Amino acid sequence: MLPRYDPNDNEAGMKLLEDLTTNAHQVQQQVLEKILTQNVHTEYLSSFLNGHSNKKLFKEKVPVVNYEDIKPYIERIANGEPSEIISAQPITELLTSSGTSGGQPKMMPSTAEDLDRKTFFYNILMPVMNKYVDGLDQGKAMHLLFIKPEIITPSGLMARPVLTSYYKSNNFRNRPFNRFNVYTSPDEAILCPDNKQSMYCQLLCGLVQRDEVLRVGAVFASAFLRAIKCLEDYWRELCSNIRTGHVSDWITNPSCRNAVSLILSKPNSDLADLIEQECGSKSWEGIIKRVWPRTKYIEVIVTGSMAQYIPTLEFYSGGLPLVSTMYASSECYLGINFKPLSKPSDVSYTLLPNMAYFEFLHVEKNHEQVSEEIQCNTTISDKNCTQKEYKKEIMELVDLVDVKLGHYYELVITTFTGLYRYRVGDILMVTGFHNNAPQFRFVHRRNVVLSIDTDKTNEDDLFNAVTQAKRLLKPLGFLLTEYTSYVDTSSIPGHYVLFWELKMKGNNDLPELDHAIMEQCCSIVEDSLDYVYRRCRKKDNSIGPLEIRVVKHGTFDALMDFCVSQGSSVNQYKTPRCIKSEEAINILDARVVGRFFSKNVPFWESFRM
Ligand code: AMP
């Protein structure tokens, strides 16, 4: 299923992509056939298919599932039962996703072969880039990559984020060109478990090699902006390291320190002067282009929730293209961008037909889930729903090559690693076709309202967290009458902002606000948000302290008036729990009477099984 070719041969790579997309239907059929024949005797599939690996039967009998449905199977594997519960190939590790379930990260199965699939995916990105940008082989890439904590499950399996798993693999170490030093970051700096040291060292290496850098980037826009912030905070120290040829003493991770010292090698005061001059200038507009003048583009994902960072990136980039090359998840790597230089708002991804078997649940244009109404037939736990309802659900699913232009779908995947008809939770819109393979714009993630880094907070999470916090107000006779939220990314790192309208029980007077209590409310909200939020906040420092802005009486009426003026129906009006419109935020901000920030870092520790 993974075609062999020389990753240095651009033409061969492009030809392969043409073949895959031209034969999208056939490849998808082969993928499903392979997955079924391989896994038909797993406990999971045999409970629906009784040992038959028939594709038609698969579509009739195997239910579309959410994580909660498969969680018991995953947990059994984590606790030491054999992989054959869901996968004929041994599950070699569990990949912790940024989605959470019951406060813990979701865990996706992975196999040894899956690493090769990811390697194929990464390698095939380069021929596409080379088609649009000349001369990338004449210099280096400053890709700022990081690892995150991992745990060992009771069965001895490693559970860790997908990128950590990949960066720690031999496939990554042996990636094409790595031995020719085409990346400015040494693997030792990427693999340094202390993110602060890792970031500092990678920036130092990128600065030292600035004349050779042709492209810069990180996986997501949020991480790249954190690197800019780190440069802002540390440029004097970085320059001093370059001037003296000595790495700061607080870089204590031995292998990281050694690798970086080798790159720093000798004092270079000319380079230090140059960087000091650029970083010392009053405005940082275009700083990337000024510090790394040969850079041709910035490679960061700026679609989906990352789109909020585009204006800030544009400010720093000096007009460089922002390139989103790929769409991937812990469950499976998904699609690539065939037109990497297109504007961020025009980016579409083509799902590679050999990565998994893809199906699509139709959703209404206003993104309300059509099939959500047919709840009972979508889960294993609801096997006793009527056949009629089940049929209806099946009819909602279409194959990759059958999606329609302009229509919205939720992605459902069947992977080589033990997920069958699994709802990823992403809503995609069909924007066109590359040969016979559809191209999709990423629209949004189902339910998510707030996201800064890899955190994904939905309305329920927010509601529950606010409910916990408002317990503190009750004994004081305060009532929280309305709330909404937005993510403030005007500074780095961004932070969640909640607007609260408070009044005294029995009248509309604004309560006298006690700073300590309000700050405690901020902390309780943070403590009540999920594992990934708290990790980003405590361990990764990629989210700043949560803020509550108390607004005066009548503010939410003004918000409603505004929403109605924009076309909301008065009858059906519901306070939006997350605000994106700048005008709406201004309406709320103009009525703020008190601002409070969380003073504590929320509790977080690597999860335990
Ligand atoms: P995780 O499972 O934590 O790796 O997160 C995967 C999710 O991140 C996907 O299901 C998407 O919701 C989101 N994501 C990944 N790549 C992109 C992209 N290129 N554009 C928008 N969202 C993305």
What would the pLDDT profile of 481-534 be if each residue is shown by its tens digit?
899 999 999 999 999 999 999 988 878 788 899 999 999 999 999 999 999 999
Q: Which atom of ligand 1 is nearest to the CA of 349?
A: 19
Residues 219, 202: Cα–Cα separation, whole Å: 14
**How many A from CA of 143 to the centre of ligand 1?**
19
Q: Which atom of ligand 1 is nearest to the CA of 162?
A: 4
Residues 131, 17: Cα–Cα separation, whole Å: 13
The CA radius of gyration of the chain, in Å to the nearest whole number, is 25
pLDDT tens-digit series, residues 410-427: 999 999 999 999 999 999
132 and 244 belong to one structural domain: yes
**How many A from CA of 458 to the centre of ligand 1?**
15
160 and 224 belong to one structural domain: yes
444 and 459 belong to one structural domain: no
Look at ligand 1, atom 16, and give the residue with the nearest C-alpha.
Answer: 327
Half-sphere exposure of 525 (CA within 13 A, CB side): 28
Half-sphere exposure of 20 (CA within 13 A, CB side): 24
Cα Dmax for the chain: 76
Last residue of one domain, picked from the residues 318, 344, 370: 344
Asked if the structure places residue 349 within a domain, the reply is: no
Q: Which atom of ligand 1 is nearest to the CA of 163?
A: 4
Query: Which residues fall within 8 angstroms of residue 285, CB to CB, at 6 or more apart?
Result: 315, 316, 318
**pTM greater than 0.85:** yes
Residues 266, 377: Cα–Cα separation, whole Å: 66
Q: Which atom of ligand 1 is nearest to the CA of 448?
A: 12
* pLDDT of 60: 95
Q: Is the pLDDT of residue 389 over 90?
A: no
Specify burial of residue 496 (Cβ count, 10 A radius: 0-12, 13-18, 19+): buried
**How many A from CA of 99 to the centre of ligand 1?**
10
**How many A from CA of 386 to the centre of ligand 1?**
34
Last residue of one domain, picked from the residues 283, 311, 344: 344
436 and 462 belong to one structural domain: no
DSSP 268-326: -HHHHHHHHHHHTSS--TTHHHHHSTT--EEEEE-SGGGGGGHHHHHHHHTSPPEE--E
pLDDT tens-digit series, residues 261-284: 999 999 999 999 999 999 999 999
Look at ligand 1, atom 19, and give the residue with the nearest C-alpha.
Answer: 327
Q: Is the pLDDT of residue 569 over 80?
A: no
Asked if the structure places residue 608 within a domain, the reply is: no
**How many A from CA of 188 to the centre of ligand 1?**
26
For a substitution probing ligand 1, which of 164, 327, 540 has the most ligand atoms within 8 Å of its CB? 327
Pocket around ligand 1 at a 6 A CB cut-off: 97-98, 162, 301, 303-304, 324, 327-330, 424, 426, 442, 445, 454
Look at ligand 1, atom 21, and give the residue with the nearest C-alpha.
Answer: 304
Residues 547, 583: Cα–Cα separation, whole Å: 20
pLDDT tens-digit series, residues 90-143: 999 999 988 878 778 899 999 999 999 999 999 999 999 999 999 999 999 999
Average pLDDT, integer, range 564-592: 87
Average pLDDT, integer, range 385-414: 75
Q: Which atom of ligand 1 is nearest to the CA of 334?
A: 16
Angle, alpha carbons 262-265-271 (nearest 5°): 130
Asked if the structure places residue 1 within a domain, the reply is: no
The tally of domains found in the chain comes to 3
Q: Which atom of ligand 1 is nearest to the CA of 98?
A: 3
Q: Which atom of ligand 1 is nearest to the CA of 445?
A: 12
**How many angstroms separate the Cα of 44 from the Cα of each of 63, 250, 331, 420?**
11, 51, 17, 9
Average pLDDT, integer, range 472-482: 90
Domain range for 314: 10-344
Q: Are 567 and 577 in contact (CB under 8 A)?
A: no
Look at ligand 1, atom 8, and give the residue with the nearest C-alpha.
Answer: 329
For a substitution probing ligand 1, which of 163, 334, 426 has the most ligand atoms within 8 Å of its CB? 426
Specify burial of residue 508 (Cβ count, 10 A radius: 0-12, 13-18, 19+): exposed
- What stretches of 454-554 show up as alpha helix (H) in DSSP? 459-470, 515-528, 531-538
Asked if the structure places residue 52 within a domain, the reply is: yes
Q: Are 170 and 198 in contact (CB under 8 A)?
A: no
What three-state secondary structure class fits 178? Answer: helix
DSSP 240-251: HHHHHT---TT-
What three-state secondary structure class fits 333? Answer: strand
For a substitution probing ligand 1, which of 301, 348, 411 has the most ligand atoms within 8 Å of its CB? 301
pLDDT tens-digit series, residues 230-256: 999 999 999 999 999 999 999 999 999
**How many A from CA of 333 to the centre of ligand 1?**
10
* pLDDT of 368: 41
Q: Which atom of ligand 1 is nearest to the CA of 108?
A: 2
Look at ligand 1, atom 20, and give the residue with the nearest C-alpha.
Answer: 303
| pLDDT tier, 5 (very low <50, low <70, confident <90, very high otherwise) | confident
264 and 392 belong to one structural domain: no
Give the mean pLDDT of the chain: 91
* pLDDT of 557: 87
434 and 495 belong to one structural domain: no
* pLDDT of 447: 81
**How many A from CA of 310 to the centre of ligand 1?**
17
Residues 522, 500: Cα–Cα separation, whole Å: 11
Percentage, residues of the chain above pLDDT 90: 79
Extended beta strands in 346-446, E state: 349-351, 357-363, 397-399, 408-414, 422-434, 437-445
Q: Are 181 and 191 in contact (CB under 8 A)?
A: no
| pLDDT tier, 158 (very low <50, low <70, confident <90, very high otherwise) | very high
* pLDDT of 443: 93
Query: Which residues fall within 8 angstroms of residue 179, CB to CB, at 6 or more apart?
Result: none
Look at ligand 1, atom 9, and give the residue with the nearest C-alpha.
Answer: 329
Q: Which atom of ligand 1 is nearest to the CA of 106?
A: 2
* pLDDT of 177: 74
Query: Which residues fall within 8 angstroms of residue 76, CB to CB, at 6 or more apart?
Result: 85
Asked if the structure places residue 157 within a domain, the reply is: yes
* pLDDT of 149: 87
Look at ligand 1, atom 6, and give the residue with the nearest C-alpha.
Answer: 329
Asked if the structure places residue 203 within a domain, the reply is: yes
Q: Which atom of ligand 1 is nearest to the CA of 424?
A: 10
72 and 160 belong to one structural domain: yes
Angle, alpha carbons 398-420-165 (nearest 5°): 120
Look at ligand 1, atom 7, and give the residue with the nearest C-alpha.
Answer: 329
Q: Are 603 and 523 in contact (CB under 8 A)?
A: no
Residues 553, 163: Cα–Cα separation, whole Å: 47
Residue 297 β-bridge partners: 215
For a substitution probing ligand 1, which of 412, 442, 530, 540 has the most ligand atoms within 8 Å of its CB? 442
* pLDDT of 366: 53
378 and 471 belong to one structural domain: no
Average pLDDT, integer, range 463-470: 93
- What stretches of 497-581 show up as alpha helix (H) in DSSP? 515-528, 531-538, 555-565
For a substitution probing ligand 1, which of 160, 329, 451 has the most ligand atoms within 8 Å of its CB? 329
**How many A from CA of 79 to the centre of ligand 1?**
28
Asked if the structure places residue 424 within a domain, the reply is: yes
Q: Is the pLDDT of residue 223 over 80?
A: yes
Q: Which atom of ligand 1 is nearest to the CA of 411?
A: 10
Residues 177, 145: Cα–Cα separation, whole Å: 17
376 and 255 belong to one structural domain: no
Phi, psi of 13 (to 5 degrees): -60, -45
Specify burial of residue 204 (Cβ count, 10 A radius: 0-12, 13-18, 19+): buried
* pLDDT of 388: 37
Task: Provide the edge-to-edge strand list for the sheet that holds 151-152.
Answer: 104-110, 93-101, 158-160, 151-152
Query: Which residues fall within 8 angstroms of residue 270, CB to CB, at 6 or more apart?
Result: none
**How many A from CA of 307 to the centre of ligand 1?**
12
Last residue of one domain, picked from the residues 420, 448, 476: 448
Residues 236, 380: Cα–Cα separation, whole Å: 58
**How many A from CA of 327 to the centre of ligand 1?**
6
Q: Are 147 and 164 in contact (CB under 8 A)?
A: yes
290 and 335 belong to one structural domain: yes
Asked if the structure places residue 292 within a domain, the reply is: yes
pLDDT tens-digit series, residues 322-358: 999 999 999 999 999 999 999 999 999 999 999 999 9
* pLDDT of 102: 75
- Token pair for 487: 């993510």
**How many A from CA of 95 to the centre of ligand 1?**
14
312 and 378 belong to one structural domain: no
Look at ligand 1, atom 5, and give the residue with the nearest C-alpha.
Answer: 329
333 and 365 belong to one structural domain: no
